[in-house]
Amino acid sequence: MILVDTSAWIEWLIGSPTGERLAGDLPEQGVWLVPTMVQLELVKWLTREAGEDEADQVIAFTQVCQVVPLDTDIALAAAQACREHKLATADAIVFATAHTRSATLLTCDTHFEGLPGVTLIKKIKR
């Protein structure tokens, strides 16, 4: 299982050099975990940058994946991740979702660097 962080989604969606690089690491939709927190972040970003129609299309794509709602187990694991790894709340929820589902977290955000279960694809400068 692979959980794709919002940063990786955005790089992939905009077709950046980083997005092209990580495309080979993206899973098939059936094993792609999508936390509801990532859905929220994607809708927020897409509505601002590309419009509601694009946001609707991406959310429809995510619904074919395995959507993981925030539950008590994930919330408690996220609180621990905040304390142990000094992550912001949204990042801790994404990290904890991957951890509780024994999934690899695929990200472009360097603040996840060195954390267990994380595959970091560093952004390529243009």
**Contact assessment for residue 104 and residue 98, using Cβ atoms and an 8 Å cutoff:** yes
What's the pLDDT tens digit per position in 62-110? Answer: 999 999 999 999 999 999 999 999 999 999 999 999 999 999 999 999 9
User: CA-to-CA distance for 119 and 51, rounded, in angstroms?
Assistant: 30
What does pTM read for this prediction?
0.93
**SS3 (DSSP) at 1:** coil
- Confidence at residue 125, expressed as pLDDT on a 0 to 100 scale: 79
Tokens, residue 74: 């994930």
Which of residues 80 and 29 earns the better pLDDT score?
A: 80
